[in-house]
Structure 1
Amino acid sequence: MEPICSITSSCATQISALLSSPSPQQIQEYYHNIFSSKHCNSITVKQDDNFGKDQMLVGSQHSFNKIDCFVCSFCFRFIGSVEIQIGRRLYLTQLRANESHDCDVGSSSKSSKNCHQMDSSDEEESTWQCSSGSSKTKVPLPEGVIESLMNGQLRLPYSEKFSLPPAVPCHGGCGEAYYCSMSCAEADWESSHSLLCTGESCDPRRREALLKFVKHANETNDIFLLAAKVISSTILRYRKLKANCLAEKGKNEASCVSDQYNFSLLLEAWKPISMGYKKRWWDCIALPDDIDSSDEASFRMQIKELAFESLQLLQTAIFDKECEPDLVVASPMEDYFLYIDEMTNPDKEEAEKITQPILDALGEDYSTSCEGTAFFPLQSCMNHSCCPNAKAFKRDEDRDGQATIIALRPICKGEEVSKMH
């Protein structure tokens, strides 16, 4: 029998209302306001024209990508410096390799062998297990170089040409979120992070619950981290709407405290998400290649149960009693090393005395981009077409989490904008 989440069974009517499709008029009005704010309403677009930047409502960097890329937790710009990016990545990659090595040694069924003692038949498999993703052999740096990069003692030649904003830590003290500016830190706090921060200011019981939720997400699917931001942002928008209502009408106004009115505020807070909502995640996620079509029902039930488990963990941490597009940001490290490579001698030779050992230590995957998942309001409303008239993508000059939408052909006034999914 299909398991039913306690939240689903107790709030079936409200959930049905939240997930019901908005009317065509509501959708038209909502996106009319978005396009009007971007000054791209009722215009004719030529081919290759950029007619809008799609700022995400919420976004979450992939957990595995946090080792490679140090970015603002709100706008996803790279932060710190080229030296910090390189030093931090080498340090964390080294930690990951050490942990992987210890795990391989401890769990090996061949107790007489380890990563230092193997026969030729094990060499290829061990290389895959112990490497950090690059097929090229990485050359370790001398002791102390990584630390010098991270603490600012070692400055790479010409790195000032690739300056990055200094990292601003979360004022909640979680040690997980960093930002490119105070404005991004404040915006993220107001948007969702105030409910998800695990810093010292967080109630100990809530922190423990949040850490359990994060651990579950990292071990299963980090899409749950994005879902947590969606839920948190909705709760905070709801609280703000209710506070404004109470301020305008007075705390004793009966209309401001009724369940029906509170739910109408929740629907309003949920509106930005509902406009792009299509299906529940477990119903629309693509079937993995290693899952046979005959096992699809079982697979979808398993991920549904995972989602319910995640939601219950999150509920313990943040729920108020009242109430997929990809994210990619190009790494500045590639630009930096290409700049060095394109220099002319003797400056190039002098610079490479310092940069080449670091490049050898990073390996072939030195230019990994920041990757994650985000909810984009404009893209979410675009219908699919096999002959689309627009596409959303990241340009070389885009250095944050926004996506640029360009026309693939001339688009006339009143014509529907479509893209290929």
Structure 2
Amino acid sequence: MKTICPIDSQFADVISALLKPPSPLEVQEYFDQLKSTRQCRGLKVQQNGEYGKGVYADLDFEEGDLVLKDQMLVGAQHSLNKIDCLVCSFCFRFIGSIELQIGRKFYLQDLGVSTNNDWDKQTFQHIPEDCCQIDSSDSEDNSMAEDGGNMGECASSSSKDKIPLPKEAVESLMNGALVLPNSKQFPLPAVTSCLGGCREAYYCSKLCAEADWDLFHSLLCTGERSKSLCKEALSKFTQHANETNDIFLLAAKAISFTILKYRKLKAIHLEEQGKYAIANVLDNCDLSLLLEAWKPVSMGYKRRWWDCIALPDDVDCHDEAAFRMQIKELAFTSLQLLKAAIFDKECESLFSLEIYGHIIGMFELNNLDLVVASPVEDYFLYIDDLPYSEKKEAEEVTRPVLDALGDDYSVCCQGTAFFPLQSCMNHSCHPNAKAFKREEDRDGQATIIALRPICKGEEVTISYIDEDLPFEERQALLADYGFRCRCPKCLEEGP
């Protein structure tokens, strides 16, 4: 397969401008503005001569203090995980009800659906209309964690000892006819439908549905009101991503975000200039507006995906060149599918392989695992902790459900996301902070906690790897990020 992308040469100047690292002043201005929308009192982002950007403490932090809560730029739930967890497609909180979460899981597992987003098209045919409608009310947060923390244990059958739940019971859980004891102690937001009418994206509120539609989903929706160029091509792109690497879904969101932002900026610009009557203006790309729309993506550290992806253990070093070419070809195939689905003539440069490779490489190097604690696990732990008489009565209903779930009762939502401020944090094998969700952190943001006291002026660092590994293993892993660690721990342990 040839991996020559004509757009790379046709728009070389525009691509160079898009990939040009922002100046220190631009970085400072962008993150100063961004901090005003985040919970990050006492932090500043500034240039670090050796490692680019860095995050520094602007006041003293004690061990266990909240250092940062950062809202994601883009995020995605892993495709296979969608069978186990029904979450908001924007903020990733669990939605529906405890009964719906459990019943839907049984239904889809029994159905044996593939990972091409067919699950909810079929699932919601069995759910009453009043359980799946636009609901603008905000409910208690129910979800996100990068680190599971102390989740506790609950006695359940192992996976191999699962006892199937009768079909009638599964349907009753899904349609609300069966209400589990004490499940109302764990209320979840009502399921809100996609504004475009697709049966693949669902939300916790009208606010999240509107935000996702405006930022990303209007171009990536397969519903009747989708703004995509070709919904069939979009389905093929999504299926390819689900079958190969769902990092492509994040890249699609980044490109969609930029296109939609560009269109808004262009519309405002034309209105201000009074140029609606000039037809050819609508067909010309305004580079300054494209750069402005691209700015949130421009701030992330980037390398081409096929250059920075770690060499798998089962690939011999002599085969590295062939492996990296295969990765490049895989990205090119994905890009062609995406181009057929959402191509925008004015933003044509965004569909270059060079841009696509750098976007994916940015995610490869900077993403944080997205883990949303399951309210279903919390529910069964609650039942297990009830006084004996209440527990015995409740378990007459819940025990068959728990036995059918086996170890799957505690499956959490899993995915990946890019967080603008968190991604600026540099690595240390002896970090002073880490991504960790406390009990009260039940939202869709990255949460960074101080591991030990951090003094004003000190750089806030996290570990990109398992810092307990031996020195040589750590250095080998960090080489994939493009640097050799010289933190105090490595200087002490190194040769």
Give the TM-score category using the shorter length: 0.7 to 0.9
Alignment partner, residue 201 of structure 2: 177
Partners of 1:80 and 1:165 within 8 A in 2: yes
Residue 315 of structure 1 aligns with which residue? 339
Q: Residue 81 of structure 1 aligns with which residue?
A: 97
Deviation at 1:279, TM superposition (A): 1.4
Q: Using the alignment, how far apart are the partners of 1:92 and 1:345 within structure 2? A: 34
Deviations 1:273-319 (A, max 9, x none): 11113212222222222222222221121111111111111111112
Q: CA RMSD in A?
A: 2.4
Offset at residue 253 of structure 1 (A): 10
For the residues of structure 2 that align with 1:300 and 1:202, how far apart are their CA atoms? Answer: 35
* Deviation of the 1:2 alpha carbon: 7.1
- Does 2:396 align with 1:395? no
| Native 8 Å contact 1:392 1:403 kept in 2 | yes
Q: How far is the alpha carbon of 1:257 from its aligned partner?
A: 4.4
Over 3 Å counting, the alpha-carbon distance change for 1:260 and 1:95 in structure 2 is closer
Q: 2:407 aligns with which of 318, 343, 364?
A: 364
SS in 1 for 2:112: helix
* Partner SS, residue 359 of structure 1: helix
Q: 1:98: Cα distance to partner?
A: 10
Aligned positions, number: 386
1:143, 1:282 → 2: CA distance?
47
- Larger deviation, residues 32-41 vs 80-89: 32-41
Post-superposition shift, 1:413? 3.0
Distance 1:280 1:202, change over 3 A: same
Structure 1 stretches of 5 or more lacking a match? 100-133
1:382 CA displacement: 1.3
How far off its partner does 1:93 sit? Answer: 1.0
TM-score, length-normalised on structure 1?
Answer: 0.86
Contact 2:159 2:405 in 1 (8 A): no
Identical-pair percentage: 67
Distance of 1:376 and 1:92 partners within structure 2: 31
- State how 1:336-351 maps to structure 2 within 5 Å: 336-351=379-394
User: Structure 1 CA distance, aligned partners of 2:165 and 2:196?
Assistant: 35
Paired residue for 1:333, among 351, 354, 376? Answer: 376
Matches within 5 A, 1:2-401: 3-38=3-38, 40-41=41-42, 42-96=58-112, 135-202=159-226, 206-251=230-275, 257=281, 262-323=286-347, 324-401=367-444
1-structure distance, mates of 2:342, 2:284: 22
Equivalent position of 1:412 in the other structure: 455
Q: Which amino acid aligns with 2:80?
A: F
Gap change, CA 1:390 and 1:253, over 3 Å in 2:
farther
Runs of 4+ in 1 over 6 A off after TM superposition: 258-261
The 8 Å contact of residues 75 and 416 in structure 2, kept in 1 or not, is answered as: yes
Counterpart CA distance in 2 for 1:331 and 1:168 is 19
SS of equivalent residue, structure 1 residue 308:
helix
* Bigger mean CA offset, 391-400 vs 12-21: 391-400
1:205 Cα deviation (Å)?
6.5
Q: Residue 82 of structure 1 contacts residue 164 of structure 1 at CA under 8 Å; is this kept in 2?
A: yes
Question: Aligned partners of 1:250, 1:303: CA distance in 2, in Å?
Answer: 46
With over 3 angstroms needed to count, the CA separation of the structure-2 counterparts of 1:259 and 1:97, relative to structure 1, is closer
Q: Which amino acid aligns with 1:394?
A: K
Structure 2, unaligned runs of 5 or more: 43-57, 116-157, 348-366, 465-495
Deviations 1:192-241 (A, max 9, x none): 00000001234796111111111111111111111111110111111111
Q: What is residue 128 of structure 1 aligned with on the other side?
A: none
What's 1:118 paired with?
none
Shift of 1:260: 9.0
Q: Structure 1 residues 239, 59: CA separation in 2 closer, same or farther (over 3 Å shift)? A: same
Secondary structure class of the residue paired with 2:394? helix
Distance 1:280 1:356, change over 3 A: same
Q: Residue 474 of structure 2 corresponds to which residue in structure 1?
A: none
Tell me what 2:119 maps to.
Answer: none
Provide Cα deviations, 1:348-402, integer angstroms capped at 9, x if missing partner: 0110011110011111121111111111001211111222222223333333321
Alpha carbons of 1:245 and 1:98: their partners in 2 closer, same or farther (altered >3 Å)? closer
Which secondary structure does the structure 1 equivalent of 2:195 belong to?
coil
SS in 2 for 1:278: coil
Query: What amino acid does structure 1 have at the position aligned with 2:265?
Result: L
Change in 2 beyond 3 A, CA 1:73/1:408 = same
Judging changes above 3 Å, is the alpha-carbon distance between structure 1 residues 46 and 248 closer, same or farther for their aligned structure 2 residues? Answer: farther
Is the 8 Å Cα contact of residues 330 and 396 (structure 1) preserved in structure 2?
Answer: no
SS at match of 1:144: helix
Residues 329 and 394 in structure 1, CA contact (< 8 A), matched pair in contact too: no
Q: Once the two structures are superposed, what CA deviation does each residue of 1:298-341 show, in whole Å capped at 9, x if it has no partner? A: 11211111111111111111121101221111111110000001
**1:391 partner letter:** K
